[in-house]
A and B are shown apart, each in its own frame.
Chain A
């Protein structure tokens, strides 16, 4: 019994000691977790196309910079509710070469968490433009461009989605950009990333579901304004909260300069709803989203997601930011008005 002289004893204890400890902290907890992995009630399994998209997500190494892991910490509240094991029950092995569930939780957040990106950026048009070149919609982004998820064609075939890439980033030869099979699969997967609400039977999902129910009135109708006090008292509102909420929630589509992207996302500068004296429609669109439609003579295909997760103060601040920026000078709103509209929507 001497480790210094008996090599079989030394190496045997070293080897089997490690294997024993591995059972305790590796294999057995993994088996226990796996046997208790029930999907959340109301969660949808991935479709075939979405699973292909998960494959693209893994293949391109998106997990190097994006987490899908909302921690029970205040700092993570922006990304959704804390993750549970059940959220990942449908993330399962990809095939014979990868007989393991892919590592979607991630370990680094150089880019945003994607747990809920399908609710946050519900527009496939935005996802395509962004993947084609992230800097065309987010100028400060350092994310790689993925042009190999797209084809350049002279004339798009019927049924193909033409990506309205901003001119500065579009192909120089004037050809049109359409997503290829991998690009469509990846966007289908990204749009599927929505947290299933806990206790789905009782609560109203705050995500894109409400966007579908949103009123789709033509914008022109709202020109009929109810009389608002013409000389409203100057309201105190939190300008920095408005600006930061705008940057975090709105600017990816409507852009920091409020000009939107031609053909893809409408401008807010000079928009009749944004500059209307009656803010009801403006508040409604922010809270409930908007299902495409014609604005200022242009038909916009992509829906705007509902932003009901924002507090009344945030909604009031961001609306006031929009109403006082880029040459807009419209009446301001109060959190109480937002609360009233929110109450009316439910």
Chain B
């Protein structure tokens, strides 16, 4: 301890001051209320869905904590996945899309009543679907389509109405060109709607293997043709907007869009490598999985090159760190997914907890972080109320550190599991070996859940207040890039 009084020790605060955002000039309170309702519904589902996830992780350490049928592992697991997919992520993305599409089309949203109807339909379908799952009524235990078809039909109608609403908005756009965000956002809708319909038509799913072909096709694209293009589309708006500069390359975005459609669609069968599904289908899936590196490099390269030299701006923003971390996750963990598709690596990792780590790294590290980046980037501009910067920081670090703990535990644990099987040990040895990894997973999951509680508090801070705010909002000119013209 050198206690030299002549040295001046600068007082450094725990956190850095982040820059404030300017609210939008036109205060369309109906629009604000609509978007906030979508985002807050999503937040409720986030808390519920991840509370279930956390509870499930505790069950690995304490399987006899209760013996209630409605709370048993097999029934709750699909409640966790479906809630965070269809309740949280989907509604949160649609919330942001309902902002980005009208703004980049320079038109008011085509129909507000229709958008409210969609919100109700989606909320009702997730609520009823979850209750039925807990009652033990599911759709043949088909992952990510566990809601029975009458429930999923309600969800699908909600999504189709949003898609129609947005297409009409784009068709009426006030500028000539369709901004790249809208390619991706509408791509997500136009790919997911036929995907869900194809997945719920029973004709060609009458035996377990034909069902498996569709299951691979569906479960893969349920993630990759809905969440991936949608958050990429949102990021193509939010990132240039927050940095106040155009996207690095418009053409790279277009390249990544078409390769996403052609390559990604082909690779669903890689979820059933070595299953008795057609071998050629598995090989096609592996080849295009590797081809996805092109899409990934184009997409993440574009974002990272846009961010190049903007380190200070990112550090001074509270939403850009989410986007930076999300973009890095997108590259790393999608590339990990491509590698996992190789037969030699599947032989070790398939069926293990490694896959669970991978799905959280992508769905959470990539998709959810970008969703938060978009929400923190958009909502304060709409409502004129910022979240406390300190708590946004705590949210960020709890989420990221929690995810790192969670996925490190399951990545290492999953490898241990696979090696245990390969060594020919009795199966129960792999269960015993996982005990400490499952415990660390629960620790990481606890941090992630806490970050969601903080996010809910931040949402509350950003809520729209009474109309008095409207008059005090400063007028703002200078639009950030909202059309392709800005990139030239």
Contacts and interface: CB of A to CB of B under 8 A. Distances in A.
17 contacts: A7-B173, A61-B73, A84-B276, A87-B276, A94-B140, A100-B211, A104-B208, A105-B208, A108-B353, A112-B427, A134-B63, A140-B428, A146-B72, A244-B424, A248-B426, A248-B427, A251-B426
Contacts of A105: 208, 212, 272, 275
Contacts of A25: 217, 265-266, 268-269, 281, 284-285
A170 B319 CA distance: 55
Given A31-B204, A103-B141, A26 B217 contact: yes
Nearest to A31: B204
Interface stretch (B43-51, B123-131, B186-194, B468-476): B186-194
Contacts of A102: 140-142, 208, 211
A67 interface: yes
B347 interface: yes
B457 to A, nearest CB: 32
Interface residues of A, number: 86
B351 A34 contact: no
Contacts of A18: 190-191, 194-195, 225, 261, 265
A191 B476 CA distance: 72
Interface of B: 59-60, 63-64, 67, 69, 72-75, 77-78, 136-143, 148-150, 167, 170-171, 173, 176-178, 183, 186-187, 190-191, 194-195, 198, 202, 204-215, 217-218, 225, 254, 261-262, 265-266, 268-269, 271-272, 274-278, 281, 284-285, 347, 350-353, 355-356, 418, 421-422, 424-429, 431-432, 438, 484
Contacts of B77: 61, 64
A247 interface: yes
A43 interface: no
Q: Which 8 A-B pairs have the closest CB atoms?
A: A61-B74, A248-B426, A88-B208, A102-B140, A109-B351, A91-B208, A71-B274, A34-B210
B322 to A, nearest CB: 28
Given A25-B269, A33-B210, A97-B137, A247 B429 contact: yes
A145 B73 contact: no
Contact of B426 (A14, A69, A100, A247): A247
B190 A100 contact: no
A133 interface: yes
Contact of B136 (A37, A60, A103, A133): A60
A60 B75 contact: yes
A58 B140 CA distance: 6
A11 B167 contact: yes
Given A7-B171, A101-B205, A108-B351, 6 more contacts: A7-B167, A25-B268, A29-B278, A64-B78, A71-B275, A101-B206
Contact of B424 (A69, A78, A99): A78
Contacts of B186: 10-11, 14
Contacts, number: 267
Given A17-B261, A29-B281, A98 B140 contact: yes
A15 B191 CA distance: 6
A154 to B, nearest CB: 20
Contact of B207 (A88, A247, A249): A88
A147 B69 CA distance: 8
B72 to A, nearest CB: 5
A219 interface: no
Contact of B428 (A19, A71, A75, A141): A141
Contact of B275 (A65, A83, A89, A134): A83
A75 B149 CA distance: 37
A73 B262 CA distance: 31
A273 interface: no
B428 A138 contact: yes
Interface string A70-90: 011111001000111101110
B216 to A, nearest CB: 9
B278 A21 contact: no
Contact of B206 (A17, A34, A147): A34
Q: DSSP class of B's interface residues: helix, strand, loop or mixed? A: helix
A148 interface: yes
Contact of B210 (A10, A30, A99): A30
B148 A98 contact: yes
Contact of A73 (B190, B274, B429, B432): B274
Contacts of A145: 63-64, 67
A107 B142 CA distance: 10
A29 B213 contact: yes
Contacts of B206: 34, 92-93, 100-101
A140 B432 contact: yes
B352 A109 contact: yes
Contacts of B205: 30, 34, 93, 99-101
A70 B365 CA distance: 32
Contacts of B173: 7
A21 B265 contact: yes
Please indicate which of the listed interface residues B170, B265, B425 has the most CB atoms of chain A within 10 Å of its own CB: B265
A38 B456 CA distance: 53
Contacts of A62: 74, 141
A59 interface: yes
A172 interface: no
B428 to A, nearest CB: 6
Given A7-B170, A18-B191, A31-B204, A144 B422 contact: no
B63 A141 contact: yes
B380 to A, nearest CB: 31
Given A10-B178, A247-B426, A34 B138 contact: no
Given A18-B194, A138-B428, A144 B72 contact: yes
A231 interface: no
A33 to B, nearest CB: 5
B74 A33 contact: no
A333 to B, nearest CB: 21
Contacts of B438: 142
Contacts of B215: 103
B72 A21 contact: no
Given A144-B73, A147-B67, A22 B275 contact: no
Contacts of A74: 422
Interface string A137-169: 010111111111000000000000000000000
A248 B183 CA distance: 54
Contacts of B281: 25, 29
A106 B202 CA distance: 19
B209 to A, nearest CB: 5
B178 to A, nearest CB: 6
A340 interface: no
A33 B278 contact: yes
Nearest to B205: A100
A1 to B, nearest CB: 14
A63 interface: yes
B271 A60 contact: no
A12 to B, nearest CB: 9
Given A60-B72, A88-B208, A22 B198 contact: yes
A276 B269 CA distance: 55
B185 to A, nearest CB: 11
Contacts of B355: 107-108
B207 A37 contact: yes
